[in-house]
Amino acid sequence: MFGIIYKWQTLVGAAIGAMSPFLLWWTAEKIRRGEDHRKKLYFIEKLLVDQINNVLDAKKTIRRFVNIQLKELICHIQENHPNAFSIDYAFFPSFSIIPLSDEIHKINTNSVYIDNKLGKSCLLSKDFPYIIEGAREQFFQTIQLNRDMALKKINPPEIQKASYLHNIKEYKLMIEKDLLNNNFSIYLKVLVEALEAIKELRKVNLRKWRLKFDPKYRFFKNKKQYIEAKKNSYEKIEKYFEKIVKERLREIKK
């Protein structure tokens, strides 16, 4: 009897001894991958914070352009002598918004929701330089068209000024409504959504994130419940971050 027990102990000991190097490698590899994943998330977080700051700086620049330069231009046009042509002008501020690095889109965060937000952020970041350039070009064309009309004296001074004033006011309205309150707001919201999700994932780690949001890692009584949970998983995450995203955006507006 003792001989059999001894043999089994020997076999188990040999098996454990043989498996020990593999277990040590597996544990070390798991730790390494986890640390590498955290570093990548931190890298993304820093890029998102930098981009939010760049977008806010650009928005402040545009806001100053609207509230100071365009208002002064409108005042100058209105104050010009009734019998004089108006060729007052202003300069669209020089700045640029650099698109997010494509490296962000290549990183797998292990969250479909976050990957989706990062992908959307990258697409919007590539569109934004063209949106800004379009606003700059439209302003230049408005100024140039008025100057040509004034120099060629196509219309009497009062008609020329009224047309110029109307075009500048329409341009100002477009910048305020479309660029500042729409384009900038949408882009900032997506960036903040991505940032807050990344911060949460770094805070709770991947396992807890999956248990909280991914239906695959939770228990359901039947398949119907699982399918329903999977279908609503994206909306559930959106709802979870809705409050903190609104708070961050309010802080940004202040």
Q: What is the pLDDT of the chain when averaged over all its residues?
A: 84
> What is the spatial distance between Cα 190 and Cα 120, in angstroms, rounded to a whole number?
7
Question: CB–CB of 86/77 below 8 Å?
Answer: yes
Q: Which residue has the tokens 């398949």?
A: 223
Specify the pLDDT at position 139.
Answer: 96
What angle separates helix 157-174 from helix 112-152, to the nearest 10 degrees?
170
* pLDDT tens track for 148-165: 888 888 888 899 999 999
pLDDT at 55 over 80: yes
* Residue that is written with structure tokens 């990344």 in the block: 198
pTM for the whole thing? 0.81
Would you state the pLDDT for residue 198?
A: 94
pLDDT digits (tens, 9 = 90+) for 9-43: 555 455 555 555 544 434 544 555 557 778 888 99
